[in-house]
Homo-oligomer: A and B are copies of this chain.
Amino acid sequence: MGMASVLVAGVAVIDFVFRVDEMPRRAEKYRATDADIVGGGGAANAAVTVARLGGRAVLATRLGDDAIADMILADLGREGVDCSLARRFPGKRSSFSSVFVDRQGERQIVNYRDMGISFDADWISGLLPDRFDAALADTRWPQGGPAVLNAARARGKPAVVDAEAPIGEAMATIRAGTHIAFSRQGLRDFAGHDDMRAALGQATEATGAWVCVTDGSADVVFHAGGAFGTVPAFPVEAVDTLAAGDVWHGAFALFLAEGMGETDAIRLANAVAAIKCTRFGGRAGVPGRAEAEAFLRERSAAA
């Protein structure tokens, strides 16, 4: 096969990141010691990861018709993400966030979303690419998630869900997945308790899907065919975990799209996310394919 292609649906934003000596706590004026403007959003971060790892990423997302949308699209264009399904809604505003990072690396995020942008996703079906090898959806677009996942299922392709909390409005997305990768917080929100293995069992029962849970630097636990398995994470000196989950999901979806088995896909996705965490700048730290594979070889040899 040629380059594998992943259709990703969900959120794209711009983060205005301010470095501060101390986290602002009062209604006063503060001066940032440094700042950066970086693209973010779960689906956009995953799409950038797919592109950096050598796949083709097509991003379906809802934007306003404003200067923020210009910034989002220019950045994704530079990353090689296909934005033909990134739709601008006239008169609406794109999502953006203020992110404060203090000297301890603590992070405060204030996000704005224009709730006036239609959640409808019927327009996607007429614009789907002729061919794609997997779909990936976050939990932030209740109609868009099922639209791309069902399109993947109809083609016999993996339909991956990045199941982050809050799960409430995303149940249709979760039911449409062939592979549901929960975060710890997402799984807790889904199950209503914190017993991970029991919760994974419930998730399999409710969906019939392959399910797993990622938990920061802890091992990935999956449940498939009635059995549990774990894939170890790679210990690294983490300096920035921003977007690590999104990056992991983009990598995992691409590797499934390429035909890799789930366990191998998890292992390489763990490598990609681990490398990202060793660098500042959110998704700017996502490695290329060769670097990720070299890291995996090196760590496997050491084990």
Contacts and interface: CB of A to CB of B under 8 A. Distances in A.
Interface of A: 16, 18, 20, 23-32, 34-35, 37, 66-68, 70-71, 74, 93, 96, 98, 100, 102, 106-113
B108 A26 contact: yes
16 contacts: A16-B16, A16-B96, A16-B98, A18-B110, A24-B110, A26-B108, A27-B108, A30-B109, A32-B110, A34-B112, A35-B93, A37-B66, A37-B68, A67-B67, A67-B70, A98-B100
- How many copies of the polypeptide does the oligomer hold? 2
Contacts of A112: 18, 31-32, 34-35
Contacts of A30: 108-111
A100 B26 CA distance: 10
A22 to B, nearest CB: 11
Contacts of A96: 16, 35, 37
Nearest to A105: B27
A239 to B, nearest CB: 16
Nearest to A30: B110
Across the A-B interface, give the 7 residue pairs with the lowest CB-CB distance, nearest first.
A35-B112, A27-B106, A98-B98, A32-B112, A30-B110, A29-B109, A25-B25
Contacts of A34: 112
A95 to B, nearest CB: 9
Contacts of A111: 29-32
A113 B107 CA distance: 20
B18 A98 contact: yes
Given A31-B113, A100-B110, 13 more contacts: A16-B16, A18-B98, A23-B25, A23-B26, A24-B110, A26-B108, A27-B102, A28-B108, A30-B110, A34-B112, A35-B112, A37-B68, A67-B74
Nearest to A74: B67
